[in-house]
Amino acid sequence: LLHFATFEQKGRWLPGVADGSLLLSIAVTEPLAGGHIGGIETIAERVGNEWVITGSKIHIGNSHLAGAHLVIARTAAAGVSTSQALTAFMVEADRPGLSIPDHRPGLGLHGFSVGRLDLDHVRVPGDNVVGEVGQGLAVAQSSSILYGRPNLAAVSLGIHEAVVDTTTSRLKTRARYRGALSDLPVLRDRIGGMEARLRAARILAYQSVHLLDQGLSCDADLINAKYLGHQWAVQSTQDAMELHGAHALDRGYVLQRLWRDIQHTYPPAGTGEVQRIRLAEAAFDEDHIQWSERLAAEAAWARPDPTAA
């Protein structure tokens, strides 16, 4: 909405987002295509001044809480390039034909709503199109890189911090050999590795979003923060499980929840394989849209000149 919506659309949607009365979702992933944007099968057909949308979306964050969903649907005939075949639509949660199956809890992140949207000939007005018709790929990709990846890096970092705090507290208070487990060099070595990964992940996350805030090119930095932030957190969580022994398996102990929660930061906004492919493209200096640069250019263009009369 910030980067693609019209002035009128921003006035309609963003005040509610800003004051917390309106939660949104972005609905891209599908049952058969998964996160493969080019395989999207949800169809939107123009009927007069309206669009009629039919299809299903899965693994949608805020599915049961959102007042509106940004749905990416196919608007071009077969054979048209993906870069021109998709369009983004704002679909209000109370639109006839939109149904949301009962919430099914997942492996972890039990405080987060992730579910399915089924759209059966849902009609939306033409002014619910976000961006231009055929620009949906850009809407989805820019959102994933600029916001999805740093968001997931932050979630991984928070879990990582909790894992290290939980483990060091346990080792300091667990008596062993006239001292505590934390006195044993072999365990200190393991904790040292966890601490090193945590500090590196924190630097990556904060550095990447700082570059974004400063209007500098940072697509690859955001990708790397998500990729390594998850990978390092998983490694530290596995170490923590082993350092706790059988106590880690206690259903009422926090560590088993953290182990489950960290699994959720791998698939969204691109799996590890996708992140490595994007990083390889950056290493080869291949010509791709740098969404952070585009954001900086748009922000500079929209910002009033303080020296102007």
Model confidence at 190, pLDDT cuts 50, 70, 90, reads very high
What are the tens digits of pLDDT across the range 2-38? 889 999 999 999 999 999 999 999 999 999 998 888 8
Q: What pLDDT band is residue 294 in, cutting at 50, 70 and 90?
A: confident
Cα–Cα distance list, 125 to 48, 51, 77, 89 (Å)? 9, 6, 21, 9
Instruction: Provide the residue ranges of all domains of the chain, joining segments of one domain with +.
Output: 7-134, 139-301
Residue 306 has pLDDT above 90, yes or no: no
Predicted confidence (pLDDT) per residue in 173-186, tens digit: 999 888 999 999 99
Residue 286, pLDDT > 90, answer: no
Which residues lie below 8 Å from residue 126, measured CB to CB, with a gap of 6+? 46, 49, 50, 51
Convert the pLDDT of each residue in 70-124 to its tens digit: 999 999 988 888 889 999 999 999 999 999 999 888 899 898 889 999 999 999 9
pTM of the model: 0.90
Q: Is the pLDDT of residue 301 over 90?
A: no
Residue 253: pLDDT over 90? yes
The mean per-residue pLDDT over the stretch 245-264 comes to 95
Largest Cα–Cα separation, the chain: 81
- Which CATH topology does 139-301 take? Butyryl-CoA Dehydrogenase, subunit A; domain 3 (1.20.140)
Contact criterion met (CB below 8 Å) for 285 and 128: no
Residues 91, 68: contact at Cβ < 8 Å?
A: yes
What's the confidence (pLDDT) of residue 2? Answer: 87
3-state SS, residue 138? helix
**Cα angle for residues 13, 90, 264 (degrees, 5° grid):** 95
Mean pLDDT across 188-208? 98
For 131, list phi and psi in degrees, rounded to 5: 80, -165
Indicate the angle between helix axes 149-173 and 219-244, nearest 10 degrees.
20
CATH of span 7-134:
2.40.110.10
CA 75 to chain centre: 25
| CB within 8 Å of 104: residues ≥ 6 apart | 115
